[in-house]
Amino acid sequence: MGEIFLVGKDINFLSGVRSKLAVEGFVVDMEKDISDAVRVVHNLKRKKPGYLVVEVNNPFVHFLEIIQRTKREEDLAHLPIFAFSVLSAPEFQDKILTAGADYFFPKDELDLDSFIFSFKRIIKNKS
């Protein structure tokens, strides 16, 4: 189906997303150490996934930097970025989308099944 690169700190949630996507036929890679945005983006360039899923958490600026750097890279700029976060107030949503995320999902309103359903529907409509 496609390769997905997951980035975030909430290991339990990310592991759940990874498992559900794997069952759906996706190849999933996961990055848990977000302290160095340059390294994360380097790994993205090396892996060349079809999609990036980012769990935006604190420290907020690290995640924004990963999103911004991804969109600034010529060979990654096309990469669809799906972001979800417990930081779901409108000002956080705006910052995440302005940084370059293509889709935002409030984590407090999200269960794994609804995210997977939405994700699959979005990528199907894009192809």
In a domain, 19, yes or no: no
In a domain, 8, yes or no: no
The predicted structure's pLDDT at residue 1: 53
In a domain, 23, yes or no: no
Residues 68 and 100: beta-carbon distance below 8 Å: yes
Q: Which of these, 9, 4, 91, 8, lies nearest to 52 by C-alpha position?
A: 4
In a domain, 119, yes or no: yes
**Which residues is 84 bridged to in the sheet?**
55, 105
In a domain, 81, yes or no: yes
The predicted structure's pLDDT at residue 34: 80
In a domain, 84, yes or no: yes
The predicted structure's pLDDT at residue 86: 84
Residue 84: give its domain's CATH number.
Answer: 3.40.50.2300
pLDDT under 50: residue ranges of the chain: none
The predicted structure's pLDDT at residue 87: 83
Sequence-separated (6 or more) residues with CB below 8 Å from residue 8: 14, 31, 32, 34, 54, 55, 56, 57
Domain that holds residue 63: 34-46+56-127
Q: Which two tokens stand for residue 49?
A: 């996934």
With H, G, I as helix, E, B as strand and everything else as coil, classify residue 30.
strand
The number of folded domains in the chain is: 1
In a domain, 10, yes or no: no
In a domain, 66, yes or no: yes
